[in-house]
Amino acid sequence: MRMPTPLVLLAACMGWPSPAHAGHAPEAAAPASTSPAPDDPAPAVPEPAVGTEIHHAILHVEGRPWEEVRDALALRLPHTELLPFDDASFAGLGGQPFAYVEIAIEPGPDAEVALTIVLSDQRAYLRRFAPEADRPLRSIVTTVANTLVAIEQEQIEADERVAEIPRPEPEPSEPALTEPTPALTEPTPTPAEPEPTPPATNVEPPPRPPPYELGVAGSMLTIFGLAPAPVRAFAAGGGEARVSARLRRGALVELGLRFASRGRLDHRLWRNRLSLAGGYAWRGERFGVAAVAGPTVEPWTVRRLGTPTGVSAADQTSATPLWGAMMAVTPSLRWRVAPTLALALGLRTELATGVLGSGASARVLGLDPAEPPETSPTVLFTLGGLELSTALELTVWIAPPRSS
């Protein structure tokens, strides 16, 4: 309700409250505002520094194998996932904070290491140091780990505030399908570096072969005549005893005595050959080959019913020895049965020739009891000329005892 003007003037003179404000509490005066006008720019207030936790790091290594540096660095940064420097690592982070760590190792014994660390907020830290000469890898990864820890704890200032993070150069290839972003997994704990195996001590060197070996051989053989003769093919059968000496480098000397015989028409031919040969014997762990050649002399005789009988040998009335030469090749298998004893089983093939003193081969003539007495003598045996013999032989090799 509005009051008349005279009453209002009277109330003002007496100090009464204005009727227009009757029933209302007096309002407190607002303090003067000290904030700037809305159009004035607000001053920048620096926030207190907080720690930067590095959970992911893209590792770029030059000068050493990446896996070697990664494994050694992972032991010192167990809470940080170390990723390779490739496009997949950048894509897999998906905008998460990370650190780019570049380790450039110069070649040479006095080389230095250039360390570059760039955070995802573009702060860069640059270091250059010389690793320890005796343990370079350990010195490098220790320095890198200490630098990352100092960055996390805000103990060092950035060398550059705005720095670009290098990206891997694309390889020239056909466009590939976009691979899905791999899911981030917890880093697999890397096993500790194995302790180096100490070098073996007291390793005995392989035994040296003996300076020489002596061999005693026995064989069973068959002789075949190769020269044209009235009686060809099988010439005789028998055996041979032989003594051999082999030097360490393979030189071989043999002395052999051969016995051979053949019977026909109540007659029997006996041949006894003495040979001296030299050559070379190659030997492996279980296999060996020997080749020899040398002169021979071979006495012979003919018996009839066990009694010596007169013979006619190429216009000679007596059996003179055969003079000739031989060469033989013997491959063999070898077994060592004791430190100084070995056995060898071989197949010996020999080619020999022999002639009488007159230069001709021998032909033994005799009478066939079934023929009339006036019949001409028959060629009973031929020997000499070109002959081939094969033998199966067993040799015992004896080496001198080794001096202790």
Per-residue pLDDT band for 320 (boundaries 50, 70, 90) equals confident
Per-residue pLDDT band for 274 (boundaries 50, 70, 90) equals very high
Report the 10 Å Cβ neighbour count for 42. Answer: 7
> Do residues 222 and 389 make contact, with C-beta atoms less than 8 angstroms apart?
yes
pLDDT above 60 (res 7): no
How many domains does the structure of the chain reveal? Answer: 2
Write down the pLDDT at residue 338.
92
Q: Which residue has the higher pLDDT, 23 or 79?
A: 79
Contacts of 206 (CB under 8 A, 6+ apart): none
Burial of 183 (0-12, 13-18, 19+ CB in 10 A): exposed
Q: Is residue 217 part of a domain?
A: yes
- Judge if 272 and 344 occupy the same domain: yes
- Judge if 282 and 133 occupy the same domain: no
- Judge if 266 and 361 occupy the same domain: yes
Phi, psi of 15 (to 5 degrees): 85, 15
- Judge if 389 and 246 occupy the same domain: yes
Q: What is the residue range of 147's domain?
A: 56-152
Q: Which residue has the higher pLDDT, 381 or 273?
A: 273
Write down the pLDDT at residue 266.
81
Please give the Cα distance from 300 to 381 (Å, whole number): 12
Which range among 52-56, 380-384, 400-404 shows the weakest confidence by mean pLDDT?
Answer: 400-404
- Judge if 138 and 225 occupy the same domain: no
DSSP state of 358: T
Report pLDDT digits (tens) over 167-199: 888 766 555 556 666 665 666 667 667 777 766
Write down the pLDDT at residue 43.
37
Write down the pLDDT at residue 375.
59
- Judge if 137 and 218 occupy the same domain: no
Per-residue pLDDT band for 258 (boundaries 50, 70, 90) equals very high
Q: Is residue 369 part of a domain?
A: yes
Write down the pLDDT at residue 228.
73
Type of residue numbered 235: A
Q: Is residue 249 part of a domain?
A: yes
- Judge if 134 and 239 occupy the same domain: no
pTM confidence score = 0.46
- Judge if 225 and 122 occupy the same domain: no
23-32, 246-255, 315-324 — which one is most confidently predicted on average? 246-255
Report pLDDT digits (tens) over 46-62: 333 445 788 899 999 99
- Alpha-carbon torsion (172, 178, 184, 190), positive or negative: negative
pLDDT above 50 (res 21): no
Q: Is residue 75 part of a domain?
A: yes
Phi, psi of 74 (to 5 degrees): -65, -30
CATH number of the domain bearing residue 320: 2.40.160.20
Q: Is residue 191 part of a domain?
A: no
